[in-house]
Each structure stands twice: as structure tokens, then as C-alpha cells.
Amino acid sequence: MTDSQARDFDAEDFLASRREWLEVSVVEVEKDCFDVVLKIDGTYFDRETADRVAESFARDVRALLPEVDQ
């Protein structure tokens, strides 16, 4: 994902067409510390594909972190 794409990224638009098989939740694991959890429905994808989706999501989050920290 380029910086321009990251700025134009709308999570709601992304998730709207994927709600049947993908749920994203934020869980506060301790005060001011959060986990982002992907729940991928196994009836749509096998484990390997779910792992690839998670890895891609993690790459995109890492790309966005420098902008969030500003």
C-alpha cells in the first residue's frame, strides 16, 4: 500500500463487502494497550489463505503506523 492509498483508505468501505467472512475487533488487553483481532470464517477459506490474509493485514498496518505516530 502506498502512502497515498493509505490516506485514501476507508476501513468501512473495505469491510463492507467482506463482512460475511471477516470481522475486525479491537480488544484492550491492558490499560492503553490494544490488540487488533481478525476473525476469518473458516467456511470461506482454508488455514493457509487465512494466514496470508493476516500477513497482508499486518503489512498494511505497519505501513500506516508512521502516519499514526505523527
Predicted TM-score (pTM) of the model is 0.60
Nearby residues of 6 by Cβ (< 8 Å), 6 or more positions away = 60, 63, 64, 67
Q: Per-residue pLDDT tens for 10-39? A: 778 878 888 888 898 999 999 999 998 989
- Whether 40 and 21 have beta carbons less than 8 Å apart is answered as yes
Helix then strand count (H, E) for the chain reads 3, 2
pLDDT at position 63: 87
Run of H or E including 55: helix 47-68
